[in-house]
Amino acid sequence: MSKLKLKATALCAISALALSLSSPPAVLAHKGAMGIVKERMDKFKASEKATKRIKQALSRGDTAVVMAEAEFLVSWASEMDSYFPENSNQSPSEAKDEIWLQWDDFVGAIQSFENASTALIDAAATEDPRAMDGAFSDMTKSCKSCHQQFRED
């Protein structure tokens, strides 16, 4: 192997190692996820980011961002159950078996999240900071409640 090829190979190996060590935790958490499990993990990660953007927007009084991100959450809620077909809780999924054993409760929890996200949109339309803060709090409570019942820690 020529010196140039050897250097290029070494540089590629070092770059690959550096990239793997610098991967954000979310990427590592999804390692090995495939198909519908990866898709839903990606959707939940996007919903977590939307929730963070809403929190930041609330602190700035940016109702347009609050509404846009809450609309994304409503859309996600409306399709969420389709990302949980039977037998889709293989590792690295964090879904508990209770989802499928208590399907109606799970769908009810999703509906609570959708209702809370819709209420946040309605509160943002009023531009009332207290109403928005309360609606945001209710929405995050719906997330936590569902996670406690249906998600592995």
pLDDT digits (tens, 9 = 90+) for 69-116: 999 999 999 999 999 999 898 889 999 999 999 999 999 999 999 999
- Distance separating alpha carbons of residues 76 and 93, to the nearest angstrom: 18
pTM: 0.78
- Distance separating alpha carbons of residues 104 and 72, to the nearest angstrom: 23
Which amino acid is residue 120, in one-letter code?
A: L
For residue 21, name the pLDDT band (cuts at 50, 70, 90). very low
- Distance separating alpha carbons of residues 57 and 66, to the nearest angstrom: 6
Residue 46: how many CB atoms within 10 A of its CB? Answer: 13
pLDDT at res. 91: 85
- Distance separating alpha carbons of residues 41 and 76, to the nearest angstrom: 12
| 39-72: pLDDT as tens digits | 999 999 999 999 999 999 999 999 999 999 999 9
- Distance separating alpha carbons of residues 74 and 54, to the nearest angstrom: 13
pLDDT at res. 30: 58
For residue 33, name the pLDDT band (cuts at 50, 70, 90). confident
Asked if residues 33 and 93 have their Cβ atoms less than 8 Å apart, the reply is: yes
Q: How far is CA 119 from the centre of its chain?
A: 19
Record the tokens describing residue 93, joined without a space: 């999924």
For residue 28, name the pLDDT band (cuts at 50, 70, 90). very low
pLDDT at res. 9: 36
- Max CA pair span of the chain: 69
Which amino acid is residue 112, in one-letter code?
A: S
